[in-house]
Amino acid sequence: MSTTENIQKQAEEFASLIALYREDIEVFAKQVFGFTLSPKQTELCEAFRTHRRISFKGGTGFGKTFVLATCFWWALICHDEVQVSILGPSEPNLQATSWKEILKFHDRMVSPFNQAFDIGAKRISHKRNPASCFGEYRLANKDSVSSIRGIHMRNNFVFVDEATGVDDEVFIEGLGGIFADPNPKLCIISNPSRASGYFWRTWCDPDLSPIWTHVHGTFWDSPNYDPETFEETAKSYGGPTSRDYRVMIEGEFPLTDVDGLIPREFIDAAVTNKDATPAADIPVVWGLDPASAGKDTSVLCIRHDNKVLDFKEWRGLDPNQLARKIHELYLQTPKHERPAVISVDSAGLGDGVEANLKRDFGLQTYHVIFKNRPTRNVEKYVSFKDQIYWETREWLASEEVSIPNNSRLIEELAAVQYDDGTGKIKVEEKKLTKKRIGRSPDHFDALALTFSVPPTRYSGKYSWNKPLEYDWLSYYS
């Protein structure tokens, strides 16, 4: 066999080997690194190999960094025109975990693969084509969205480690563009430590969750699991009833965010309650949270006693247009289901909306300014907003209420935090909630507005189902 034929044969054998690895990550890990993947690690690797969007939540000990490093090298070795990006909320953490594990894998890599790459501080590239076959890590936060948006390659593979701590803007505004590439993959990995945010939504949002492939790992999936270590670890996390046990052992989202105003169990109970029946003598109340045209969403909450019936949303409307939409909805609503009053956040442009509703359409409104003093239990709250937000909490705490399975409402209820260290309840500023979830809590605002009206103010007068009452003695006298 000539030298040329021998080289050609070796090239064909190498191409066949790469084709095998591309279809079987277990074989790849065994032959290239000498590693045997556990069943759960294989599940995550296969999810990455065969799907575009993968969301992994898991407890401690599973070996998620090990899997990330395996998939990183599989992507670089088995693909041409490939960029593999490792993103995370902390650069020191990326260096100490994901990138460190990737470098350790290179040390164990068999020849000739270990000689094919140049290893840099933040970048690994193929010597043959460094511009179109490389991997790197970078910081992911809302300030880096523009650079993340520029990640493009034919095979564009992105991992987001510690995804719970990454700003929502990174996923929504930064990484959405990779799916315009021919072969994109986005794999987000995290301990499920928050009951809100984009990572949580990939599992719990009924609209977003279906487009993601889910892999769930627990402490029991650890390749080095043993009962004695488990018992010690379980105790260190506070036992089965603790929040940390749920997150780090069971790999499940907490029932509520730490210091959340609304405990998660209250929200879940209200979403699943199908038996809530509004009292006939309690009127319907609408709560309207207007938004500037082109900015946040204007949201209307429709509540009848212990049941939120619906939410309506509008974007890009000025005060006149929004008032007209509300009036149209009012006219379309059957008389017995119309609101006794519409509570309007009347700060800023909301003042114009309320004026239009009253002046142009003759609707009964209730003027609300969040920063005003509380009107009930004044010693308990800092402001009127704190009052109606807390009353929303107390309403949900009764467990006799029902709310729609609305992902935005649920996330907002779970995300808002508060402080009572001064002896009075103080809900966090809206800008803090907005930073945490990537938008204003408009649905929470609209629901809270329905509690601004004194509970008995419109009862009776607007009770369409209330029977007629007569003074029978006067009638016969």
| 146-200 tens-digit pLDDT | 889 889 999 999 999 999 989 999 999 999 999 999 999 999 999 998 888 899 9
CATH class in words for 264-449:
alpha beta
Q: What is the pLDDT of residue 85?
A: 96
Confidence check: pLDDT of 464 > 60: no
267's torsion region: left (phi>0), alpha (psi -120 to 50) or beta?
alpha
Amino acid identity at 278? P
Residue 302, exposed/middle/buried by CB under 10 A (0-12, 13-18, 19+)?
Answer: buried
Q: Cβ(262)–Cβ(401) under 8 Å?
A: no
- With 0.75 as the threshold, say if the pTM is over it: no
Q: Cβ(374)–Cβ(426) under 8 Å?
A: no
Whether CATH 3.20.20.70 fits 3-248 = no
Q: What is the pLDDT of residue 84?
A: 97
Alpha-carbon span 474 to 277, nearest angstrom: 36
Confidence check: pLDDT of 70 > 90: yes
In the chain, where the domains are located: 3-248, 264-449
Q: For residue 430, what is the enclosing H or E element?
A: helix 430-437
Confidence check: pLDDT of 472 > 70: no
Q: What is the mean pLDDT of residues 104-126?
A: 95
Q: How far is CA 91 from CA 165, 194, 239, 441, in A?
A: 12, 21, 32, 30
Q: What is the pLDDT of residue 318?
A: 92
Alpha-carbon span 55 to 43, nearest angstrom: 12
The model's pLDDT over 334-393, given as tens digits with 9 standing for 90+, comes to: 999 999 999 999 998 899 999 999 999 999 999 999 999 999 989 999 999 999 999 999
Alpha-carbon span 158 to 30, nearest angstrom: 24
